């Protein structure tokens, strides 16, 4: 299909996982995609993936200068803020440094990309912003996700605020709240829990069994929701957390 024909889409953290799958899915729907990541090496093979539909460059979502440069280059109609980090631990196992890092990457980065991108969107008559939250947020609590869930709840609040302020200027702002999704960093989390539990299989079972469908999501299943929210098909939705969690919070 060509559901995103004529749109320019900027994606952060497109090197792997959901960001990568979304960059590919949006390019397949005809968008000119700007796939970015702090790890430029992870982007290398994306550039050849869709006959020039994907342009790749390094963008550090923790660095305001890098964000401003990237937004100026992409002039996006669609902004997918995907960069984020999962801190492991309860309220008692969170350090000040962990807190500051997570809020910088998971929340402040999105504020900065939005503040850089929105004036251009308004000038061009509108745009669609998709922020990465999580089912683990204000939707549902998950074990050992104290800092993570707190940052992802903040993303929902930030999304609603931006949606309200720019609704009359044609800029929509939604966020997505996935359950557990198979990705390189998820595999690392399973491995780490496996070491804690003394068994990789037990850790895998713990992650999978909390998903009522008995499986975790594929990144492509989340990318399909990103495409919908990026496209004009979703023109009547803004300010919403879109939960896509295999029934976890249901």
Residue with tokens 């492509």: 220
CA torsion through residues 204, 205, 210, 211, sign: positive
Task: Kindly state whether residue 13 participates in binding ligand NAD, applying the rule CB under 6 A.
Answer: yes
Site string for ligand NAD, 40-79 (x = CB under 6 A): --x-----------------xxx-----------------
Task: Kindly state whether residue 193 participates in binding ligand NAD, applying the rule CB under 6 A.
Answer: no
148 an active-site residue? yes
Q: Which residues pair with 242 in a beta bridge?
A: 176
Residues 188 and 43: their CA atoms lie apart, in Å, by 20
CB proximity list for 182: less than 8 A, separation 6 or greater: 216, 217, 218, 219
Task: Kindly state whether residue 12 participates in binding ligand NAD, applying the rule CB under 6 A.
Answer: yes
Please tell me whether residue 80 adopts helix, strand or coil conformation.
strand
Choosing from 80, 148, 166, 248, the catalytic residue is 148
Task: Kindly state whether residue 18 participates in binding ligand NAD, applying the rule CB under 6 A.
Answer: yes
Site for ligand NAD in 98-157 (CB under 6 A): 105, 132, 134
Work out whether strand 171-178 and strand 78-81 pair parallel, antiparallel, or are unpaired.
unpaired
- Tell me the catalytic residues: 148
Residues in contact with ligand NAD by CB under 6 A are 12-13, 15-19, 37-39, 42, 60-62, 82-84, 86, 105, 132, 134, 178, 180-181, 183-186, 219
């Amino acid at each position: 299909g060509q559901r995103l024909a004529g749109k320019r889409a900027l994606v952060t953290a497109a090197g792997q996982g959901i960001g990568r799958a979304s960059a590919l899915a949006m390019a397949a729907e005809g968008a000119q995609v700007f796939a970015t990541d702090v790890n430029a090496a992870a982007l290398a093979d994306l550039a050849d993936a869709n006959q020039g539909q994907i342009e790749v460059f390094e963008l550090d979502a923790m660095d305001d200068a890098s964000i401003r440069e990237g937004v100026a280059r992409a002039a996006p109609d669609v902004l997918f803020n995907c960069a984020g980090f999962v801190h492991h631990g309860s309220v008692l196992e969170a350090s000040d440094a962990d807190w500051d890092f997570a809020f910088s990457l998971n929340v402040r980065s999105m504020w900065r990309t939005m503040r850089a991108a929105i004036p251009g969107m308004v000038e061009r008559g509108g745009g669609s912003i998709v922020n990465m939250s999580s089912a683990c947020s204000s939707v549902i609590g998950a074990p050992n996700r104290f800092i993570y869930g707190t940052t992802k709840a903040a993303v929902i609040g930030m999304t609603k605020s931006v949606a309200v302020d720019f609704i009359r200027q044609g800029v929509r702002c939604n966020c997505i709240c996935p359950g557990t999704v198979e990705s390189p960093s998820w595999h690392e989390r399973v491995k780490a829990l496996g070491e804690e539990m003394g068994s990789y299989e037990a850790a895998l079972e713990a992650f999978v069994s909390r998903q009522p469908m008995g499986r975790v999501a594929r990144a492509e299943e989340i990318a399909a929701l990103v495409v919908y929210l990026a496209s004009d098909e979703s023109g009547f939705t803004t300010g919403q957390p879109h939960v896509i969690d295999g029934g976890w919070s249901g």
